[in-house]
Structure 1
Amino acid sequence: MDEQNKNVIDEQTKNKMEEHKEERTDLTAFSQKVLQLREEISKVIVGQQETVALLLTAILADGHVLIEGVPGVAKTLLARLMSRLIDARFSRIQFTPDLMPSDVLGTTVFNMKTSEFDFHEGPVFSDLVLVDEINRAPAKTQAALFEVMEERQVTIDGTTHPMSDVYTIIATQNPVEQEGTYRLPEAQLDRFLLKIRMGYPSVDEEVKILKRHQETRNLIRLEDVKPVLTIDELLDMRKKLDTVYVEDSLLRYIANIVEQTRTSKAVYLGASPRASVAMLNAAKASALLGGRDFVTPEDIKFVTPSILQHRLILTAEAEMEGYTPLKVAQKLIDKVEVPK
C-alpha cells in the first residue's frame, strides 16, 4: 500500500514538474511583453519606476488604482499613456463639484419615435476609465462608482448593464488642495486595489525632462504611441496568476501583517479580508512582472504599503504625533517576521 502511494505521489510530482517547466517557458513571451510595456512608458514618462511597476501590478491583478500626487507630476499623463498601450476602449471623466451621478453612469431618455425609454450610456461605460480628481465630486457622485468598481456592472432603473472583462478604473487626486474637495468614503477607498503616491522627480530626472522639451524632436506625443497589448493578451496574462505558486508560510505571512493592523494601538480601523486577498493577488502579479512563477517575501513587502495605506484609519493620538497611514503600515510590516 505504501509503495502504491509512493508511486502516486511520484507521478503527481512529475506532473507538477512538467507543468512548472511548461509555465516557465510561457513566461519568456510574457516577460518580453512586460519589457516592451516598460520601454514604451519610459519613452514618455521619465523616472517613476516604482509608480510604473505598481500600476502594471494593479492592471495585471485586475484591480483599480488611485494615484495621488501634487499637480504637474504626470498622474493624468501616465493614466492616459497606459490606456494607449492597451488596445481597449478609453474614456475620461473630469470630476467637479457639480457633477451628478447620471453624468457618470448615464440616463434613460424618452424616445418619441418608439414611445419607449432608451438608455444612454455614460462615460463610465468603457474598458479603461480615467477618473481625474476624484475627490472633487460630492459623496453622492462618488457613490455612483461603488457598484461598478466592485461588481463590474451598473444598475439603472432596475436593469443591469455589465462591463467588459478588462474593466479598470484609474483615479487621480491631489493631496494638498482642500478647497472644493471631498474626502473619499472608506467603503470606496477599500475598492481600490492600490493607492500609489507619485512624487517629484530627482534633479537628474528633471534635467532629462527639460532636455526632452528643449529638443522637441525627442518628445513623443500620446497620439503617436501604438498599442502593445490587445484585450485578449491582457486577459491571457491575468490567467497566469492562477499558475503562480505561493507557499503556505507566505499565506500566513500575509495574514500576520493584516492581523497587526487590527491590534496596533496606532490604528483605529484595521484592514479587512479584502486587503488580504488584494495582497495575495498583487504579490502574484509582482512575481510575474519579475519573471517568476513563485511569490517571494519581497513581492509581498513591495505591494503591501500601497495596499494598506488607504485602508487604515489612525487613532487621533497617532495623527497628533505626526504618523501617516503609510508610515504606520511600513512599521507594522517590519514588525512581522519574514518567512525563511
Structure 2
Amino acid sequence: AQLDRFLLRVEMSLPAAEDELEILRRSVRGELTGWSAEASLPAAVTSPEEAAALRSASRRVHVSEELLAYLGRLAAEVRKAPPVELGPSPRGSLALLESARGTALLEGRDFVTPDDLKRMLLPCWGHRILLTAEAELEGHSGPEVLGRVAESVEVPH
C-alpha cells in the first residue's frame, strides 16, 4: 500500500566506471549538491506557473471511451493473472491514465494512444503488483506478468 502512493517507479542502472570516476571527481571539487560542506540548491527546471500550465494542458489531452475501457481491461487482467496476489488499485489505474496523457503531451499530441498506455505500464504498475511467493520462487517477475498481459489484451482500433 505504501508504494501505491508513488506515481512512477523509474529504474536506473549503475553508471559506467568512467562516469562513476567523474562523479567522484566532482564530489572532491565540491560540485555535487548535498555532498559538499556548502550544499547548493539545484537549479529549477521549470517555474510553478509553467508546471501548472503543463498540468492544465495534460487535462486537455483526449482519452477515448475505448481507451478507458482498454485500461480497465488491462487492470482486470493483471489482477486475475495467476501469479499476481495483489494487482493495481484504482489509484494505479489513475496513475497510468495521467502518465499516458503526459506522454502524449510530451510527444506533441492532444490524444492518448494504446502505445502511450503500454509505454507507461511498467513504470506505473511495476511497483504496484505483488506476486505470490510461489510465483517468485518459480522465477516470475512483475515486468514479465505485465508484458504478458499487455500482449494478451485486445487493443482498440
> Do they fold alike, i.e. is TM over 0.5?
yes
**AA partner of residue 302 (structure 1):** R
- Give 1:209's aligned amino acid: D
RMSD: 2.5
Q: Which runs of 5+ in 2 are unaligned?
A: 34-39
Higher relative contact order, structure no. (Cα contacts within 8 Å, ≥ 6 residues apart): 2
Q: Give structure 1 stretches of 5+ with no counterpart.
A: 1-186
Tell me by how many angstroms 1:212 deviates.
5.0
Deviation, structure 1 residue 271: 1.8
Residues 259 and 234 (structure 1 numbering): CA distance in 2 closer, same or farther, change over 3 Å? Answer: same
Code of the aligned partner of 1:237 = L
Q: Deviations over 1:158-178 (max 9, x none)?
A: xxxxxxxxxxxxxxxxxxxxx
C-alpha separation between the residues in 1 aligned to 2:154 and 2:56?
31
TM-score (norm. length: structure 2): 0.81
1:307 aligned to 2:142? no
The structure number with the bigger radius of gyration is: 1
Greater strand fraction, Structure 1 or Structure 2: 1
- Partner SS state of residue 147, structure 2: helix
| 2:13 aligned to which of 189, 199, 202 | 199
1:309-335 CA distance string (max 9 Å, x none):
222121232112111222212221221
Give, in angstroms, the shift of residue 244 of structure 1.
0.2
TM-score w.r.t. structure 1 length? 0.39
**In structure 1, distance between residues paired with 2:24 and 2:128:** 42
Report if aligned partners of 1:241, 1:284 keep a CA contact under 8 Å in 2.
Answer: yes
1:326 has 2:140 as partner: no
Q: Distance in 1 between the 2:49 and 2:99 partners?
A: 20
Deviation at 1:280, TM superposition (A): 0.7
| Other structure's SS at 1:333 match | helix
Q: Contact conserved, 1:308 with 1:326, CA < 8 A, in 2?
A: no
* Whole-Å separation in 2 of the counterparts to 1:313 and 1:213: 35
Q: Structure 1 residue 280 and structure 2 residue 90: aligned?
A: no
Count of residue correspondences: 148
Deviates more, 1:272-281 or 1:221-230: 221-230
The answer to whether the 8 A contact 1:260-1:332 is kept is yes
**Partner of 2:10: helix, strand, or coil?**
strand
